[in-house]
């Protein structure tokens, strides 16, 4: 599953890599590059949101479900300008019709950049 996710669509375009995948926890990495930056030299907030959304959705997908994001909320805490970003998603709820994931995106020093809570609808 990890290899398939790493080589398709937006994941491939942005460079998102799923490095760990378990039923209640998924971890991804993303190398900061010029294609992810704003004009001020920080990683774009939309990149952090897409990164979190992808890693959270992977948690529902590895359970064998087709899924789409129903709702997502992100809080931003700090800017990233270089290095490897890490997203760690943990399941908060795994129901029959939806899953809720919380994703912490951190930089290489462990500094919290953003926190996303998303609901994945099971299709």
Note the pTM of the prediction, 2 decimals. Answer: 0.94
CA distances from 42 to 37, 66, 73, 104, 121 (A): 5, 33, 20, 18, 31
CA atoms within 13 A on the CB side of 58: 30
Please tell me the CATH superfamily of domain 2-122, with its number: Hotdog Thioesterase (3.10.129.10)
Residue 116, both tokens: 């996303």
Structure confidence by residue, pLDDT tens digits, 22-52: 999 999 999 999 999 999 999 999 999 999 9
- H helices, E strands: number in the chain: 3, 6
Average pLDDT over residues 3-32: 91
């Amino acid at each position: 599953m990890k290899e398939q996710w790493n080589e398709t669509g937006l994941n491939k375009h942005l460079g998102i890599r799923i490095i760990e995948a378990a039923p209640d926890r998924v971890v991804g990495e993303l190398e900061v590059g010029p294609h992810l930056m704003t004009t001020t030299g920080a990683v774009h907030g939309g990149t952090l949101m897409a990164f979190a959304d992808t890693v959270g959705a992977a948690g529902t997908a590895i359970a064998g479900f087709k899924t789409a994001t129903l709702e997502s909320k992100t809080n931003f805490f700090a800017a990233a300008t270089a290095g490897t970003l890490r997203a760690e998603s943990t399941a908060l709820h795994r129901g029959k019709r939806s899953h809720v994931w919380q994703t912490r995106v951190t930089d290489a020093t462990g500094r919290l950049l953003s926190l996303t809570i998303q609901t994945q609808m099971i299709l």
